[in-house]
Structure 1
Amino acid sequence: MEIQNKTEIFYENILNVLKNSREKVLKTVNITMVKTYFEIGRLILEEEQKGEYRGTYGKELLKTLSIRLTKEFGKGFSETNLKQMKTFYDVYKIRQTVSDEFKLSWSHYLILMRISNIEERQFYEIEAFNSNWSLRELRRQLDSALYERLVLSRDKESVKELSLKGQIIEKSIDVIKDPYVLEFLGLPEKHEYSEHDLESEIINKLEMFLLELGKGFTFVGRQVRFTFDEKHFRVDLVFYNRLLRCFVLIDLKIGEVTHQDLGQMQMYVNYYDRFIKLPEENKTIGIIICREKNDTLVEITLPENNEQIFASRYETILPSKEDIKKLIMEEE
């Protein structure tokens, strides 16, 4: 048995070496391919801009090139792909700081280069790399207007930082979004479900909900009970944020948030700060995710310089970017 265990450990070590090596090779090949396409795009654009290639012959340049490259190298050099390489170079030829090195896959850049706003594009490029987003996750964050939603809760200086550093989590407000987009739950737009239904669907699709919450979140529990003075209370969802080193309590409301809801969350947060969190941990954050909210009521109910209690709306369908941009303009 001991020999078998040693053999198994030996095998696992070899397996890990091979897996790590394969991942490094794939990354190297991927980055080399992206740089190659960038260079091909440069050559095509520069050739098209020469006077002798304007007019009829210029229009045939990509067609002729596609035929010759396909014959020599096989698939991957259709006219459409060559146009994409040219666009890729055109978009990234002014080498922004984050783009000095291409770190993502070609498929990621095919999505990114469609974003006309340079600051927005840089943000998604940084986040896709730092958070190791798959193509599906990148598309989802783009479709849910993550950048615009983060802009809503930041001043102009902090908005600039988004395009240079991505989302930096240093204080409680950095993890807050308004609205939260929960289209992946598959719930109807109207109130044809209960708070229990909302909570259950979040648990069923916890991986997607963690992606929507953002960086550093780990799930602690559902309907977490605590007791004092022989009275029992339950927090809908409890998370811990490793970056902020604090508990994050979430209460779900399918209607409009009330001052009683805010008061209840304040009590939850106080209890966790006094009896649950460790001395070296930071203050607990409480988020009420609700269908509607009155900003004035929230502001009056909560203490000045509030950094612990937040109320954010949620959407069960993907909002249009136009709607998000209107909110940004209203805030400004």
Structure 2
Amino acid sequence: MTDPLRFLARHGPWVLAFGLVLGLLLPGPASSLKPYLPWLVIGLLYVSLLRMSVAGMLEAVRKVPRMVPAVLALQLAVPLVILAVAVLTGTLASSVTLSLLLVSAAPSIVGSPNVVMMMGASPEPALRLMVAGTLLLPLTVIPIFALSPMLSGLRDVILAALSLLLTILLTSAAAMLTRRLFFPKPGPVVLERLQGASAIALVVVVIALMPAVVEISRESWGLLAFWLAIAFGANFGAQGAMRLIVSGKPRDEALALSFIAGNRNIALFLVALPPETTAQLLPFIGCYQLPMYLTPILLRRMHR
């Protein structure tokens, strides 16, 4: 009899695509998951970290300082370029500019270690980038908010970033304790089952995020097409550009940098910005989930 978790691990990219379809076809049940989204994300992080050894997690944390230049390039230099272009083109007040500005200023999505594992890479570089980006966010976001007349609530953003960092550290500690107590030296079968559990966690999270896309489609198919074009262009464009820049680096590090360049935790800003600002972001955030979860299928050849 086929082990279901191992089966899901071997078909992880298609499992994510199935989650997208399920969320779009079942908006009612998907909406019921929305209030639990923060806990679902924490569970996703916990399951993904279980696949890493305690020594590997500690080594990843020790190497965080090496990621500072990459974080500054991704979370500070890129949004400053977007701000400069918006000023020159007179598009500073548009919702597209706001979406691109905030997505480029955000740290890595929490699920990045899971997704890069699905593409056959080690999760450690992605974990280092995620932790380093979250740690530095309270600093990198200050000039972005100071220079943009569209944004306010800097104190709340900093507090939200610190809260996210604390959540990551506590979840990492819980995962390390679980590994040490229950399976300190797991074999390949156990590791594959954990990867299958990570695929399930990713599917549940994406189902909870899909109602936003359904709402846009009900309003206007043209509007949906517009925001999908922006989301795919921003995500895949950033991944492709970074892949060219880091082509000489080892594959695990290059894949982590490329994936995270296009996949950021923009939802972090929803808890800190005023409602009139976040309302402009919801169409982009909803459509942004599609390129994020389709990356293992559509960009697998590029990352290989």
More helix by share: 2
Structure number with greater Rg is 1
Fold shared, TM-score > 0.5 on shorter chain = no
More strand by share: 1
Task: Give me the TM-score of the superposition, normalised by structure 1.
Answer: 0.22
Pick 1 or 2: higher relative contact order, CA cutoff 8 A, min separation 6: 2
Task: Give me the TM-score of the superposition, normalised by structure 2.
Answer: 0.24
